[in-house]
Amino acid sequence: MQMALRIVALLTLLLGAVLALQLLGVVLVSGLVNMFHLLLGIATVILAFAALSSALRDGAWRGIGAWFAVVPLVMGLLYYTNVIRLPVWIWLHVLMGLLAIGFIEMAFARRRRLGRAPSEQL
């Protein structure tokens, strides 16, 4: 489950980078890239909750790797649905996405350091 989450999060990041290049005017991409980025973002959140569900039971701070992935998803949905169209919003979305990936990796490292299986509590 950890590897699947890492792959999906990396693909989300790569498609996000392509979309950021489009905002900068470097490349022109189709709307499918945006849709796949959104779907992979949703998959990242679902996999984060599944892979780190035991950490969620230990409190908000221990489960930050799982629940923080919702933040960039909500920010992206607000932009995608034209609720917020500020250019700076996208860069905040990028920052929150990178933080979410970092928190997920921190949770995996904590689990590995404690020598526990993925299904065990942190």
Q: How far is CA 55 from the centre of its chain?
A: 17
Nearest to 4 by CA among 120, 118, 122: 118
Coarse DSSP helix, strand, coil percentages of the chain, rounded to the nearest 5 percent? 75, 0, 25
- Cβ-count burial 23-42 (b if 16+ within 10 Å, e if not): eeeeeeeeeeebeebbebbe
DSSP letter assigned to residue 118: T
Domain boundaries along the sequence of the chain: 2-114
Q: Give the model's pLDDT for residue 117.
A: 55
Question: The pTM is what?
Answer: 0.85
pLDDT band per the 50, 70, 90 thresholds, residue 122:
very low
